[in-house]
A and B are shown apart, each in its own frame.
Chain A
C-alpha cells in the first residue's frame, strides 16, 4: 500500500477523490486494520495471563477434586469433594493459618498506612531535609526478602541480637524472639512494616502534593485548626490513596509468605507464623507433601483465593462509605 492509497483510506484525511465514489467497504477495511492492530498490540499481557494464569487455574480446579501425591498430572485419583471437606472438618492447621494471615495482614496494613501517613504529614511540615528523610525511609524497599531477613534475624537473635542486649540492660530476661510462639509473628510484622513504609510515604507525599490548594486556603480563612483541617479536608482528599494502599496491601499481605518462609521455616514455633499461603506451600512442596499432596494443596489454594477475593470485594463495598473521588 503506497502513501496515496493509505491517505485515501484514512478517514482523517480530507478526501480528494469523489467522496460518493469512496466505497464504504474501504473505510470499513481501514477500521478493520485498525481493530486488528489494536487488538494484536494490546494482546500480549492478556495472552500471558491466559497462558500462565488461566490454564493453571483450570488445571488447579481439576486437581482440587483429586488426590495427587506426585507432580505427575496423570498420577491422579479423583476423590470428589473430599479435599474440601477435609479442609473444613479435619485439617488442624487451616483455621489457624487463616487467623494468622488476618492478624498479620490487618496489623501490617494498618500500621504501615498510619505510619506512612504520619510521616508524609511530618515531611510536609518541615522546611528542609524531607527529601533526604524520605529517601532513607525508602531504602528497605529495594532490598530483597533474603537481605532483610538476614538483618532482622540478626537483630532478634537470641545470643547475639541487639534487642536481647537491650533486654539485658533493662534487666529483663532474654527472649528467643523468632522461636517463641508469642513473639515470632511480631518479628515478621516489624520486618514487614519496616520494609513497606517508604512505599506508602511516596504515595502519600504525591497525594498531598496533588491536593487542590484552594480547599486548604478556604478552610484556613474559615478558621479551621490543624486537626479539623486534616479530618475534614485533607483526609477525604487523600482517601483514594489510603484506599489503594489498604486494598493492595491486603491482597499482598494475605498472600505473603516468602518472608515467613525465610524467617521461620515450616510455619514457625507451634505454627504461630503459618499463613494461608504458607500452608498451601507446605502441602504442595513442603514437609506436608507426603501427607497432603498437590490435589489437596490445589483445593486449599482455591479456598484461600476465594477468601482473598471476598475480602477484596468487602473492601470495595466499604469504599463507597469513606472514599472520596471529587477532587
Chain B
C-alpha cells in the first residue's frame, strides 16, 4: 500500500508555479459559478415578492399597465391606507389571535408534559405509547376530514372556533418529538435530585425541566404560531360568517373579489405576511433549530 502510494506520486507531474496559478483561477471560476447559481435561486425566490411589493405601491391605473415595470412611476401608499382602514383586516387579525394563541400555549404545555414523561419517567406503557404516536404521524389525515365535519356539525360547532381550537389543546405530535429530544439532552440527575427533595413528578416537570426547556418551547411556539397564523384550510372549512373570519380568509375574500383592485390586494398580502417576516427575521435561529432537529431525528 505504502509503496503503491509512493510510486503513484512519483509518476505525477510536480505542481509547478504556473499550474498552481491555473488551479487558483479555476477555483475562483468555480466559486463564481457557485455564487451565480445561488443568486439565481435567490432571485427566483424573491421575484414574486418584488412584483407584489412593486404592484402594491402603484395606483390602480398603473398596476394594469402592460408590460410590467418594477419601479412605480407614480409611487403611492394609497393601497396600504385603504387596507389599513379596512376594519375586516383588523377583525381578521384579532380573530386569528383569538383562535391561535390560547390553544397554542396550552398545547405547548401538554406537549412538553408528554415529552417529559417519554424522556424522563420510565413507565411500562412508554414504549407502546411512543410507537403509536410515531405511527400516527404516518397516517393520512385525509380520512378524518369528512367525518370530523359531521361530528362538529352534530355538536353544533360549525361556524364556531371550537373545531380550530380544541384539537390543538392536546398538543402536537411533532412538537412532542422535538421536545422529547431536548429533554433527552438534559441530565436525568436533575430530576432525581428534585425527587429526593420531595418534589412530585409534576412538580419536577414544572419547576425543574420546563424552565430548562424554555428555548425549545420558544422554538416550538414560534413554529406553532406561524402554522396557526397561516392556516387556511381549517378556518375555510369550519367558519361561515364573515365576522368570524381569520386574517387568511379575509385576505382571500379580498383577493377573490371582482373589483380587481390589484394594488389593494397586494397591499393586503404584504400586510398579512409582514408580521411573519418580522417574526422570521428576529427569531431565525429558532426556526432553523426547530426544523433542523425534526430532520436529524429521522
Nearest CB of chain B from residue A56's CB, rounded to whole Å: 4
Cβ-neighbour of A41 out of B113, B197, B272 (below 8 A): B113
Q: Chain A contacts of B296 at CB under 8 A? A: 203, 206-207, 210, 241
Are B233 and A59 in contact, CB atoms less than 8 angstroms apart?
A: no
Majority secondary structure of chain A interface residues (helix, strand, loop or mixed): helix
Complex contact B63–A294 (CB within 8 A):
no
Write out the residue numbers on chain A whose beta carbons fall within 8 Å of the beta carbon of B140. Answer: 251, 254-255, 304-305, 308-309
A133 to B52, CA, bound (A): 21
Q: Taking CB as reference atom, which chain A residue is nearest B295?
A: A203
Q: Residues of B contacting A294 with CB < 8 Å?
A: 146, 149-150
B231's nearest neighbour on chain A, judged by CB, is A144
Q: Does B176 contact A (CB under 8 A)?
A: yes
The answer to whether A159 and B66 touch across the interface, beta carbons within 8 angstroms, is: yes
Interface of chain B, helix or strand or loop or mixed? Answer: helix
**Are B114 and A45 closer than 8 Å at their CB atoms?**
yes
Complex interface bits, B216-236 against A, C-beta within 8 A gives 1, otherwise 0: 000000000010011111001
Tell me whether A44 is interfacial, beta carbon within 8 Å. Answer: yes
State how many angstroms separate the Cβ of A96 from the closest Cβ of chain B: 17
The 0/1 profile, CB within 8 Å of B marked 1, for residues 37-61 of chain A is: 1111111111111011101110110
Contacts known (A155-B48, A302-B143); A199 close to B292, Cβ less than 8 A: no
Please state if B192 and A12 are interface contacts (CB–CB under 8 Å).
yes
Within 8 A of B (CB), among A46-105: 46-49, 51-53, 55-57, 59-60, 63, 71-73
Q: How distant is the Cα of A12 from the Cα of B265 in the complex, in angstroms?
A: 64
In the bound complex, do residue B125 and residue A135 qualify as a contact, i.e. CB atoms below 8 Å apart?
no
Q: Report whether B142 and A144 are in contact in the complex, using a CB–CB cutoff of 8 Å.
A: no
Chain B residue nearest in CB terms to A59: B147
Interface pick from A106-114, A228-236, A280-288: A280-288
Find the A residue at minimum CB distance from B69: A165
A residues 1-16 touching B (CB-CB < 8 Å): 2-3, 6-7, 10, 12-13
Q: Which of A150-190 contact B (CB under 8 A)?
A: 150-152, 154-155, 159-162, 165, 168-169
Q: Give how many B residues have a beta carbon under 8 Å from the other chain's beta carbons.
A: 108
Interface residues of B (CB under 8 A from A): 30-31, 34-35, 37-39, 41-42, 44-49, 51-52, 55, 63-64, 66-68, 110-111, 113-114, 116-118, 121-126, 129-130, 132-133, 136, 138-151, 153-154, 158, 166-167, 169-173, 176, 192, 195-198, 200-202, 205, 226, 229-233, 236-237, 248, 251-252, 255, 262, 265-266, 269, 272-273, 276-277, 279-281, 284, 287-288, 291-296, 298
Query: Closest Cβ of chain B: how far from A25's Cβ, in Å?
Result: 18
| Given contacts A44-B110, A151-B51, A241-B298, A52 and B167 within 8 Å (CB-CB) | yes
CB B15 to nearest CB in A, in angstroms, measures: 14
Q: How far does the alpha carbon of A34 sit from the alpha carbon of B292 in the complex, in Å?
A: 33
Asked if B252 and A56 make an inter-chain contact with CB atoms under 8 angstroms apart, the answer reads no
Asked if A41 contacts B201 (CB within 8 A), the reply is: yes
Is A255 a contact of B142 with CB atoms below 8 Å? yes
A-B contact pairs, 26 of them (CB 8 A): A2-B198, A37-B201, A41-B121, A41-B202, A42-B117, A42-B130, A45-B176, A48-B167, A49-B132, A60-B143, A71-B150, A71-B153, A127-B31, A161-B68, A169-B67, A197-B41, A206-B295, A241-B295, A241-B296, A255-B142, A261-B236, A277-B142, A294-B146, A298-B147, A305-B142, A309-B140
- The reply to whether A280 and B170 contact each other, CB–CB distance below 8 Å, is no
Quote the shortest CB–CB distance from B266 to chain A (angstroms). Answer: 7
Residue of A nearest to B151 (CB): A56
Quick check: A146 and B42 within 8 Å, CB to CB?
no
Compute how far the CA of A29 lies from the CA of B49 in the bound complex, rounded to whole angstroms.
62
- Complex CA–CA separation, A256 to B281 (angstroms): 27
- Closest B residue to A280 using CB positions: B142
Partner of A251, one of B47, B110, B138: B138
Residues of A close to B173: CB separation below 8 A: 45, 49
Question: Given A37-B121, A151-B51, do A146 and B37 touch, yes or no (CB 8 Å)?
Answer: no
